[in-house]
Amino acid sequence: MNDIRNNDPMDNQSNGSNNEFPPYLKFKGLLFYDVIYEVIKPTILTTNEEKIHFTLPKEHVHFIFNRHRYNYQLQIRICQLENKVTSLNGVVDYFPQGLSIHVGTLPCKLPFYKYKLGNTSSRLFGAPIDCTKIVKFTPNTINTISIKYTPDTKTYALTMCIVSKLTAKTLVNRLFGKARRNKQETINDILKLFEKNNDTDLAITRFKLPLICPITKLRMKVPVKSNQCKHIECFDALAYICSNRRNTIWKCPICHLDCLYNNLEIDSYIFFLLNHPSLRNCKFLIIL
C-alpha cells in the first residue's frame, strides 16, 4: 500500500508526493461549484491501494465556519488519465471498478448512478464525491484518505478541494456579465423571416414572438438561447439551468440541439420587450 503525506497544506505547489500531476493536466471545471482551495493537489495513484494524509489550514476552517457551512463542500474527484490531448481540455470524473474510499474509518458515499458496460457488467458513474460530513474540521488535524479499487492497467488520479456551491440564480446573474445578443441582431433576424418568404406563395405577413418560456409556460424573466441556435425564440435562463441541474441534458428546449451553459446569451431585444411597461402582461407579441 502506497502512503502519500501532504506535509505542508499551505504549500500550493506541492502535496509532498512525487505523484503530482504534470503541469498541463487539470480536472474539468464543474458548473455548479467554484474551487476555493486545493486541499490535495491532483495526484497520480501509483497502486490500487493508497493512503493520502492531509490537514485543513486554520484560515480555511474558519472561512467555512464563519459563513454558512452548508454552502461549502469538501470534494474528492477521481479521473482516468488517457492522453495529453484530452487532459488539456480538462479530465472528467471516472471511477475505477471496485472503488471504495474511507476518510479515517468512515466510508465515503459514492454516487449511486450506474451505466451498463456491454450486456452484463455495470460500473459506478464518475462524479464529485462529497466527503464534508466525515472529515475532521479541526485546524491542522491530520485526516487520512484510504483508496482501494480493483487492479487494472489504467492510470488514475485524485484531487480534493474546498468548493462553494453555486445556486442557479448565481449562474443566471453571471450571464449578465457576459456578452449579450445585440438588440439589432434579433430585429434583423425577424425582418429576414419576412424577406425570406416574399418569393413564396405562403408569404409571412405576421410573426408571433412568444414571451413565455417553453419549459415553465410562464413569462420569461431572463430570456436566453445558445449562440449556436438559429431560431428567434428564447427560454427562461433560471428554468433552463434548474432543469439541467437535475438532468444535465443541456439541450435547447426549442431546437433540441446542444445548448451548454457557456454558450448561453441573454437576448437584449426580448429582454427589453419583457420589461417594457406597456407589455407587462403580454404572453405573445404579434409583429406585422
Q: Are residues 159 and 206 in the same domain?
A: no
DSSP strands (E only) in the chain: 2-5, 33-45, 49-54, 72-81, 100-103, 106-107, 114-117, 121-124, 129-130, 143-148, 155-165, 207-210, 223-226, 235-236, 264-266, 284-287
Spatial contact of 41 and 10, defined as CB atoms under 8 Å apart? no
Q: Are residues 77 and 123 in the same domain?
A: yes
Spatial contact of 88 and 60, defined as CB atoms under 8 Å apart? no
Give the torsion sign (CA, 42, 90, 95, 152): negative
**Residue 54: inside a domain:** yes
Range of the domain at 63: 33-166
**pLDDT, tens only, 50-69:** 999 999 888 888 777 766 66
**pLDDT, tens only, 85-97:** 555 568 889 999 9
Q: Are residues 200 and 254 in the same domain?
A: yes
Q: At a CB cut-off of 8 Å and minimum separation 6, what does 120 contact?
A: none
Q: At a CB cut-off of 8 Å and minimum separation 6, what does 63 contact?
A: 36
**With bands split at pLDDT 50, 70 and 90, how would you rate the model's confidence at 6?**
very low
